[in-house]
Amino acid sequence: MERVIVKTDFKELKLFRRGKVRDVYDLGDTLLIVSTDRISCFDVVLPNGIPFKGKVLTGLSCYWFDFIKDIVPHHLISTDITSFPNALEKYKDELSGRAMLVKKTKPLPVECVVRGYLSGSGWKEYKEKQSVCGVTLPEGLKESDKLPEPIFTPSTKADVGHDMNVDQKYVENLIGKNTADSLARLSIALYKKASDYAFTQGVIIADTKFEFGLLDDHIILIDEALTPDSSRFWPREEYAPGKGQSSFDKQFVRDYLETLDWDKTPPGPVLPEDIIAKTTQKYLEAYRKITGRDFS
């Protein structure tokens, strides 16, 4: 049986941040990013873990870091627990396959969102104003249509509630014009390279979010990259514009939750075993499609 980890609590380490899904520890010059098996849906963390989810997400991030390293350097040092600091040795069962040791950077306070398809809040805005985050688009597009070109739609991290969409001028004021231009250029280049490849493997990456940090004044890619938690993944074979698309990974969970009388505020409902099992299969399938290898 695969051990499911929904929370880590390494008392003698300094907790850097506990997100919806990841537990991050501060090791000084490095961070330890642990992807747990927690799943969030409609922004609420559910009580069950999804077996293999954390390991699959870590595996996918690592795959992509290597895939895009010619465009921009990344923060990953290692996922091999035998190379981790000795103090982590006793947690090796919990860390194995799901933890990344990364270079600690000064994070740039911008969520670098790239959209290649019209979906979610983008579709909502388009219907009202024919634009997405202020970028005017051709008329006559349908929900889930592919955009003529991917667009960069940054947002700022809000500590509470949802992120706030901002325009490029706002980003320039925050971090300077040079850095702002670089983030836009790099984000689009990363999205194009990854989404073109994913498409050939049967996965549409409709949109995604990157984060960057500064290390010795150089921009490097940080956080997770191009996972189903930081992106919208759609199965290519089911793609049909003119309506919302099914999510590659969370559709079974969403469909189940929609059958309940739940108001989408915490606490989230317990998931039935078969929904959990089917969702695990989806994460494994996403890994297999993108990397071309079985998850082991």
Ligand X SMILES: Nc1ncnc2c1ncn2[C@@H]1O[C@H](COP(=O)(O)OP(=O)(O)OP(=O)(O)O)[C@@H](O)[C@H]1O
CB of 242 to ligand X, least distance (A): 30
Burial 257-292 (b: 16+ CB within 10 A, else e): beeeeeeeeeebeebeeebbeebbebbbbbbebbbe
Q: Rounded to an integer, what distance in angstroms lies between the CA atom of residue 157 and that of residue 109? A: 7
In DSSP notation, 184-199 reads HHHHHHHHHHHHHHHH
Rank residues 19 and 269 by Cβ distance to ligand X and give the closer one. 19
Q: Which residues contact 31 (CB under 8 A, 6 or more apart)?
A: 16, 24, 25, 101, 102, 103, 104
Tokens of 283: 């994460």
Q: Rounded to an integer, what distance in angstroms lies between the CA atom of residue 210 and that of residue 230? A: 8
Rank residues 145 and 163 by Cβ distance to ligand X and give the closer one. 163
Rank residues 144 and 250 by Cβ distance to ligand X and give the closer one. 250
CB of 128 to ligand X, least distance (A): 26
Listed in order, strand segments (DSSP E) in 7-43 are: 14-18, 22-26, 30-35, 38-41
Please check whether residue 102 is in contact with residue 33, taking contact to mean a CB–CB distance below 8 angstroms: yes
Rank residues 105 and 279 by Cβ distance to ligand X and give the closer one. 105
Rank residues 102 and 194 by Cβ distance to ligand X and give the closer one. 102
Closest residue to ligand X, based on beta-carbon distance = 19
Reduce the DSSP state of residue 109 to 3 states and report it.
Answer: coil
Angle at 134 between CA 129 and CA 139, to 5 degrees: 45
Q: Rounded to an integer, what distance in angstroms lies between the CA atom of residue 53 and that of residue 105? A: 26
What does the binding site for ligand X look like in residue numbers (CB under 6 A)? 17, 19-22, 24, 31, 75, 102-105, 107, 211, 213, 222-223
Rank residues 77 and 135 by Cβ distance to ligand X and give the closer one. 77
CB of 33 to ligand X, least distance (A): 6
Tokens of 129: 């104003």
Q: Which residues contact 161 (CB under 8 A, 6 or more apart)?
A: none
Rank residues 150 and 213 by Cβ distance to ligand X and give the closer one. 213
Rank residues 153 and 230 by Cβ distance to ligand X and give the closer one. 230
CB of 218 to ligand X, least distance (A): 13
Angle at 198 between CA 195 and CA 201, to 5 degrees: 155
CB of 279 to ligand X, least distance (A): 18
CB of 29 to ligand X, least distance (A): 10
CB of 292 to ligand X, least distance (A): 27
CB of 95 to ligand X, least distance (A): 16
